[in-house]
């Protein structure tokens, strides 16, 4: 689900119970080194803005940021709020859960509003 976009980037919600966003470039670059420098700096600024918004809104124990592109061979980032009692912690969110989901988090729709207001 796309929750924000401008002329160069868009942000989607990942299908997860954790606060998990994906940042995409609109141009389908395969590698980070292909992105023009000024666009790359804009991308890193958005990553930081998303990270700060997740920290302020959810107060997680850690933020995970990853860019793999093996399944989807284009530049995109996963930005995930992690909690010591989340189903996967301390393992990655791509592994099997180690416990039941018992987080009591604010609604993601409220975070979406918070994030988009901070990106304007």
- pLDDT over 90 at 116, yes or no: yes
Structure tokens at 62: 């850690």
Q: Tens digits of per-residue pLDDT, 2-49? A: 999 999 999 999 999 999 999 999 999 999 999 999 999 999 999 999
Percent of the chain residues past pLDDT 90, beyond the cut: 88
- pLDDT value at residue 102: 87
The pLDDT score that the predictor gives to residue 109 is 95
**Dihedral sign for Cα atoms in the order 91, 97, 98, 104:** positive
Residue 69 has pLDDT above 80, yes or no: no
d(CA 6, CA 99): 38
Residue 70, pLDDT > 80, answer no
Q: 12: buried, middle or exposed (CB in 10 Å: 19+, 13-18, 0-12)?
A: middle
Residues 100-111, mean pLDDT to the nearest whole number: 93
Choose which CATH entry (3.30.70.260, 2.60.40.1290, 3.30.428.10, 3.40.50.720) describes domain 2-119.
Answer: 3.30.428.10
Q: What are the tokens at 106?
A: 């604010």
For residue 86, the model assigns a pLDDT of 95
Banded pLDDT at 104 (limits 50, 70, 90)? very high
């Amino acid at each position: 689900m796309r929750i924000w976009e401008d002329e160069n980037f868009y942000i989607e919600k990942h299908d997860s119970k954790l606060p998990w966003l994906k940042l995409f470039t609109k141009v389908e670059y395969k590698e980070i080194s292909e992105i023009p420098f000024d666009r790359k700096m804009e991308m890193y600024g958005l990553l930081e803005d998303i990270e700060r918004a997740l920290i302020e809104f959810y107060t997680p124990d850690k933020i995970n940021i990853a860019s793999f592109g093996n399944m989807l061979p284009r530049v995109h980032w996963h930005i995930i709020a992690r909690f010591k009692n989340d189903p996967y912690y301390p393992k990655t969110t791509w592994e099997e859960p180690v416990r039941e989901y018992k987080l009591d988090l604010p609604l993601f729709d409220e975070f979406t509003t918070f994030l988009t207001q901070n990106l304007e």
